[in-house]
Structure 1
Amino acid sequence: MENNVLNGMDRVDPSLRDEMLAELFLNQVLNDFKRSKILEKVDQSLKNEDKEAFLRLTEELKSVSQ
């Protein structure tokens, strides 16, 4: 999908294209960071044998991964 987005970008004004690419990049970095933090919490919940936290965090992880 990202390839399709980039292929269509050649028809967009260069300054707008740069802004859009920066926004896509920042969104990806933010999602990666959120995912990483949730995974750390999932690991901790497993170590603590906290089933409630594990289930809540895995649901949160699903929503971030979509």
Structure 2
Amino acid sequence: MEKFLLNAPQQTEMKILNSLYAKMVLDKALRDFRIEQILKEIDKSLQYRNKEKFLRLTEELNFIS
């Protein structure tokens, strides 16, 4: 039992680190997905010559990147 108590802080730290790592992976995946969406929308705005949408999307892309 004493061993368990000595390892408790380490186990808590590992849970926190794992949680942070999972959040970082999820955040990156969501950001990459949004960048892909924006690039597709930029292509459409160029195809339809929509300057306002193009400028808005490129601004958002610069903000994310």
TM-score normalised by the shorter chain: which range applies?
Answer: 0.7 to 0.9
Question: Stretches of 4+ moved more than 3 A in 1?
Answer: none
Please list every run of 5 or more consecutive structure 1 residues that lacks an aligned counterpart in the other structure: 1-11
Percent identity between the two aligned chains:
39
Aligned positions, number: 54
- State the Cα RMSD in Å: 1.2
TM-score normalized with structure 1 length: 0.77
Quote the Cα distance in structure 2 between the aligned partners of 1:53 and 1:15.
43
Q: How does 1:18-29 map to 2 (within 5 A)?
A: 18-29=18-29
Kindly name which structure, 1 or 2, has the bigger radius of gyration based on alpha carbons: 2
Q: Which has the higher contact order (CA 8 A, sep 6+)?
A: 1
Partner of 1:55: 55
Please list every run of 5 or more consecutive structure 2 residues that lacks an aligned counterpart in the other structure: 1-11
TM-score normalized with structure 2 length: 0.78
